[in-house]
Structure 1
Amino acid sequence: MYIIPAVDILDQKVVRLREGKYEDVTVYDTSLEEMIAKYQGNGTELIHIIDLNGAKGDFSNQSYLFDIIHKTDMKVQYGGGVRSIEKVKELIDAGVHRVIVGTQAITNPTFLEELSHLYCNGVKCSDHIVIAIDVLDEVIKYSGWMESSPIKLINYIDRCLKLGFFRFLCTDINKDGKLGGAGVELYKKLLDHSPIIKLIASGGISSMDDVRELDSLRIESCVIGKAIYEQRISIEDIKEWNLRQLITF
């Protein structure tokens, strides 16, 4: 299992939200450029960037983010307000390695089907897509976790798989931002149902013990943010873990 360090950006500042609430924000005294420089090293080549302005339809951060992406060798997994086929292509053309789609995939019945037929840089765009599933008590939430989808969680995964999408970023909302441990039971349920999915775990990871527990579940990777800023997991811990995984792969 691979650790993907996470950086959330709001007004070009590094921040973390608690349970997705913009009014409950912590601003960190560092920049995106500084964070990328710290993470980059043997074994760690992927970073998870969420544009919180973009999530609200405000793409004022985009030129700033694109400039940074062009300057780094790190691969970027990007999310935040991706609600059109054109935006997916724009991001991939700009050098984004993986694009996270969430709300539009749930609310627009044709979005994923159209995306499944699209080619980006000569390969199917589905190879560069991560389906975000934000879950609260097994209910899929969207639009900044304000709305609930009537689609059953397992049924949604099955539909995505049929369309050729296989990588899922699953956030357990009950766990997010609380450093109380990962949503292990939720991930077990998803993997028991569909062992072939590439699952990215997110939310609640507070220690390397949590990482080891997730590793035992056949999870492809996990996203860690707040635990790093709160110094519960060090950047060296992440580099050492990822390098060991690379060597033993």
Structure 2
Amino acid sequence: MYIIPAIDILNKKVVRLREGDYEQVTQYDVTLEEMIERYQSNGTNFIHIIDLNGAKGDFSNQDYLFSIIKKTDMKVQYGGGVRSIEKVKELLNAGIERVIVGTQAITNPSFLEELSKSLCGKEKCSDQVVVAIDVLDEVIKYSGWMESSPIKLMDYVDRCLQLGFFRFLCTDIGKDGKLGGAGIQLYEKLLDHSPFIKLIASGGVSSMKDIEQLSKIKVESVVVGKAIYENRISIEEIKDWNLHALMSI
């Protein structure tokens, strides 16, 4: 298991939201370029960038983000307002390694099927798409966590797998931004149901102890954001962990 550092961008500033609430925003005195430079190492080659403006349909950050991404060797896992196949292709063509899809995949029943066919020429997707599942008490939430889906969590996972999507970014909303520990029970249920999915954990990580617990249940990777900015986990600890993870493969 490896750690993917997270950077949330709002109005070209590095920020964190509490429970996805734009009214509960903390802005950090550091630039995107500076954060990426800090993370670069032999073991840490992925960065998780969420465009919070894009999540609301405002792509004013996009040129700024693309210009920085093109200058780095870091691979970028990107999300925020990706609601069309054209946008997925645009992001991949701009050098994004993985594109995260969420709301559209839930609200438009044909979206994932069309995306799979469009990217791969058949009903099997490549490694370029991450399906985001934001969960509160095992209910899937979308549209900035404001709406609830009637689709059962495990049924949704099964449908994605049938279409060839196997990498999931699962955020435990009740844990996100609180530094209260990761949603171990939720991830265990997902992995018990589908042991072969590539699961990216997100939300609540507060210490390296949480990282160790996630490693034991065999998640593929974990996104860490606020714990870094609040000095609960150091960048050196992340680099050391990822380097050991790389050496053990």
Task: Say yes or no: TM over 0.5.
Answer: yes
Q: TM-score range by the shorter chain?
A: over 0.9
Q: Distance in 2 between matches of 1:101 and 1:126?
A: 14
TM-score (norm 2): 0.98
Q: What root-mean-square deviation, in Å, do the aligned CA atoms of Structure 1 and Structure 2 show?
A: 1.1
- The answer to whether the 8 Å contact 1:13/1:31 transfers is yes
Per-residue Cα deviation, 1:163-202 (whole angstroms, up to 9, x for no partner): 0000000000000000000000000000000001000000
- The answer to whether the 8 Å contact 1:2/1:222 transfers is yes
Q: Which amino acid in the other structure matches residue 206 of structure 2?
A: S
1:38 equivalent in structure 2: 38
Pairwise mapping of residues 166-245 of structure 1 onto structure 2 (< 5 A)?
166-245=166-245
Gaps of 5+ in 2: none
Pairwise mapping of residues 29-178 of structure 1 onto structure 2 (< 5 A)?
29-119=29-119, 126-178=126-178
Q: Distance in 2 between matches of 1:119 and 1:24?
A: 37
Query: Match of 2:127, SS?
Result: helix
Gaps of 5+ in 1: none
Q: Distance in 2 between matches of 1:189 and 1:233?
A: 26
**Shift in Å at residue 119 of structure 1?**
2.7
User: Percent identity among equivalent residues?
Assistant: 77
Q: Distance in 1 between matches of 2:111 and 2:52?
A: 22
TM-score (norm 1): 0.98
**Shift in Å at residue 126 of structure 1?**
3.4
Runs of 4 or more consecutive aligned structure 1 residues displaced over 4 Å after TM superposition: none
- The answer to whether the 8 Å contact 1:16/1:25 transfers is yes
Q: Distance in 2 between matches of 1:35 and 1:127?
A: 25
1:2 equivalent in structure 2: 2
**Shift in Å at residue 125 of structure 1?**
5.4
- The answer to whether the 8 Å contact 2:125/2:165 transfers is no
Q: Which amino acid in the other structure matches residue 95 of structure 1?
A: G
Q: Which amino acid in the other structure matches residue 45 of structure 2?
A: E
